[in-house]
């Protein structure tokens, strides 16, 4: 009798499939969506804050009055109307015509995720290196791993990516004969840490990449969701050459529509469109029309203010609960915007090993290991505050703190329940240390 596997097609897959791993976040969704579980895991925006009656009427009219066009095939680059609206949105952050932003260089994508995949398809060969913050967005790791590229993490601190560490990584990889294609960065209200790259460091990072001949892929889903005044200008507002700007309407309007975009250097635009057409033929005409109509007829700037207020209240609820309830030795970031807090566990606790006990206690988070390509991050977790109301956030932190206290007690009695080697805070600052890893 010959041996069998669970997958009879194992020997037939392409090599690139070996780099495809299940997302730690997606794997949690089935459990975290149960009503008895307080989910601090996902990154879902609070859609109920939208004027849903008005949005529903708008969507109905699109089908009834414009279905002949919105339900038809379109062009691969996306409609001109939406690309013009996208330029209006980017101008709020300082990416305007003065720095070369044009509808001609915008490519509409199926969310920010397709934008990442298109960049990877254009620039990554097997064995290439991508530099990325450590930790970084789990969805980007999946894209780069599927492209058979290696992700090398660059450490962060409370001011974001550390320029000296970036220079060191570039030099080390050059000495090793490795080919680095680009820096992938989320400089504003970063996922998963909530940290923002400082004004001074933005120029230094751009200078370092320019000297090294590296492209910069700037992912900016959260830049318009700041709580403490204006965010620093995006990297693309400072340099036009060699900087790809990616964003999405998933966090500021509706993730279910799956509409994002890339602002690319002009020479690359056509190749992005060709790659997108090979994947999807064209983005959804209905979804594009929905976003265009929303931006053209509804008070979307005021809606951004509503989101900021809702998320600020929920962030504050989470920070207060962490301060009141977390066991000694726990630290966390204090985000100025976005959707996430990054927590560091007391010495010796393992967020991945602790997860089953947390689910049994009806609370969910994302273990830090999901945000590193090399399996690091066991001593960390990502906590989302955008979706649960403040009272549920506090209850979730209460349950989570109880699980951590139990693990600490078990460690005292039986020894280590997981190794992490993380920092400990004894009543000090909430800011992360020199290296968030």
| Bridge partner residues of 37 (DSSP) | none
Q: What is the pLDDT of residue 230?
A: 85
Q: What is the pLDDT of residue 35?
A: 81
Residue extents of the structural domains in the chain: 18-50+302-411, 68-297
Cα(268)–Cα(216) distance, rounded to whole angstroms? 14
Question: At residue 429, does pLDDT exceed 90?
Answer: no
165 token code pair: 């560490």
Q: How confident is the model at residue 15 (pLDDT cuts 50, 70, 90)?
A: confident
Q: How confident is the model at residue 93 (pLDDT cuts 50, 70, 90)?
A: very high
Q: What is the pLDDT of residue 424?
A: 37
Cα(236)–Cα(215) distance, rounded to whole angstroms? 12
Name which of 398, 416, 249 is nearest 324 in CA terms: 398
Cα(216)–Cα(238) distance, rounded to whole angstroms? 12
Q: How confident is the model at residue 415 (pLDDT cuts 50, 70, 90)?
A: confident
Helix (H, G, I), strand (E, B) or coil at 292: helix
Each residue's pLDDT tens digit, 231-273: 999 999 999 999 999 999 999 999 999 999 999 998 899 999 9
Each residue's pLDDT tens digit, 291-344: 999 999 999 999 999 999 999 999 999 999 999 999 999 999 999 999 999 999
Q: Do the Cβ atoms of 132 and 170 come closer than 8 Å? A: no
Q: What is the pLDDT of residue 26?
A: 62
Helix (H, G, I), strand (E, B) or coil at 43: coil
Return the CATH number of the domain spanning residue range 68-297: 3.40.640.10
Name which of 261, 245, 252, 399 is nearest 339 in CA terms: 252
Each residue's pLDDT tens digit, 334-393: 999 999 999 999 999 999 999 999 999 999 999 999 999 999 999 999 999 999 999 999
Is 68-297 in the same CATH topology as 18-50+302-411? no
N- to C-terminal Cα separation, the chain: 48
309 alpha-carbon distance from chain centroid: 21
Q: What is the pLDDT of residue 84?
A: 98
Question: At residue 32, does pLDDT exceed 80?
Answer: no
161 token code pair: 């990516």
Question: At residue 31, does pLDDT exceed 90?
Answer: no
Cα(75)–Cα(84) distance, rounded to whole angstroms? 15
Q: Rounded mean pLDDT of the chain?
A: 91
Of 41-45, 136-140, 280-284, the least confident: 41-45
Q: Give Dmax (Cα) for the chain.
A: 71
Return the CATH number of the domain spanning residue range 18-50+302-411: 3.90.1150.10
Within 40-96, residue ranges assigned H as helices are 52-70, 80-91
Each residue's pLDDT tens digit, 173-218: 999 999 999 999 999 999 999 999 999 999 999 999 999 999 999 9
Which of the two residues, 410 and 215, has the higher pLDDT score?
215
Cα(24)–Cα(371) distance, rounded to whole angstroms? 9
| Bridge partner residues of 427 (DSSP) | none
Q: What is the pLDDT of residue 61?
A: 94
384 token code pair: 């989302």
Each residue's pLDDT tens digit, 36-79: 899 999 889 999 999 999 999 999 999 999 999 999 999 999 99
Q: What is the pLDDT of residue 29?
A: 65
Q: What is the pLDDT of residue 432?
A: 44
HSE of 374, CA atoms in CB hemisphere, 13 A: 12
Percent of the chain with pLDDT over 70: 90
Task: Give me the mean pLDDT over the 423-436 stretch.
Answer: 40
Q: What is the pLDDT of residue 350?
A: 97
Q: Do the Cβ atoms of 260 and 115 come closer than 8 Å? A: yes
Question: At residue 13, does pLDDT exceed 60?
Answer: yes
Q: Do the Cβ atoms of 152 and 132 come closer than 8 Å? A: yes
State the residue for tokens 């080390």: 172
Helix (H, G, I), strand (E, B) or coil at 17: helix
Cα(214)–Cα(225) distance, rounded to whole angstroms? 28
Q: How confident is the model at residue 17 (pLDDT cuts 50, 70, 90)?
A: confident
Question: At residue 148, does pLDDT exceed 70?
Answer: yes
Q: What is the pLDDT of residue 20?
A: 64
The pTM of the full predicted model, rounded to 2 decimals, is: 0.91
Q: Do the Cβ atoms of 115 and 262 come closer than 8 Å? A: yes
Question: At residue 428, does pLDDT exceed 80?
Answer: no
């Amino acid at each position: 009798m010959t041996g069998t596997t669970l997958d009879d097609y194992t020997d037939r897959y392409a090599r690139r499939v070996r780099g495809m791993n299940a997302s730690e976040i997606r794997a949690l969704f089935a459990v975290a969506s149960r009503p008895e579980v307080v989910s601090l895991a996902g990154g879902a925006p609070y859609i109920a804050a939208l004027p849903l009656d008005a949005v529903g009427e708008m969507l109905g009219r699109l089908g009834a009055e414009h279905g002949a066009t919105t339900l038809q095939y379109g062009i691969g680059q996306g409609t001109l109307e939406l690309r013009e609206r996208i330029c209006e949105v980017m101008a709020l952050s300082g990416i305007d015509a003065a720095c070369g932003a044009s509808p001609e260089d915008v490519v509409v994508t199926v969310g920010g995720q397709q934008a990442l995949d298109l960049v990877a398809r254009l620039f990554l060969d097997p064995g290439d290196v991508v530099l990325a913050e450590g930790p970084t967005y789990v969805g980007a790791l999946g894209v780069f791993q599927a492209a058979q590229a290696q992700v090398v993490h660059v450490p962060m601190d409370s001011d974001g990516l550390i320029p000296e560490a970036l220079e060191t990584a570039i030099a080390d990889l050059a000495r090793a004969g490795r080919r680095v294609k680009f820096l992938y960065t989320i400089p504003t209200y970063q996922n998963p840490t909530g940290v923002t790259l400082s004004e001074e460091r933005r120029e230094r990072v751009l200078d370092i990449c320019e000297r090294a001949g590296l492209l910069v892929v700037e992912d900016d889903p959260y830049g318009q969701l700041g709580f403490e005044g204006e965010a620093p200008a995006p990297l693309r507002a400072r340099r036009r050459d060699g900087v790809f700007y990616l964003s999405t309407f998933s966090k500021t309007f509706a993730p279910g529509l799956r509409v994002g975009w890339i602002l690319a250097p002009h020479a690359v635009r056509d190749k992005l469109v060709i790659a997108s057409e090979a994947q999807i033929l064209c983005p959804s005409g209905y979804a594009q029309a929905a976003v265009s109509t929303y931006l053209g007829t509804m008070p979307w700037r005021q809606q951004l203010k509503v989101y900021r207020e809702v998320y600020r209240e929920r962030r504050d609820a989470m920070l207060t609960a962490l301060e009141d309830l977390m066991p000694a030795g726990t630290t966390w970031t204090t985000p100025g915007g976005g959707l996430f807090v990054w927590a560091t566990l007391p010495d010796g606790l393992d967020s991945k090993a602790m997860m089953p006990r947390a689910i049994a206690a009806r609370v969910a988070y994302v273990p830090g290991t999901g945000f590193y390509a090399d399996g690091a991050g066991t001593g960390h977790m990502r906590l989302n505050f955008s979706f649960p109301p403040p009272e549920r956030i506090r209850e979730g932190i209460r349950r989570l703190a109880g699980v951590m206290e139990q693990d600490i007690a078990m460690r005292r009695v039986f020894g280590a329940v997981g190794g992490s080697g993380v920092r400990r805070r004894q009543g000090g600052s909430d800011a992360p240390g020199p290296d968030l890893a």
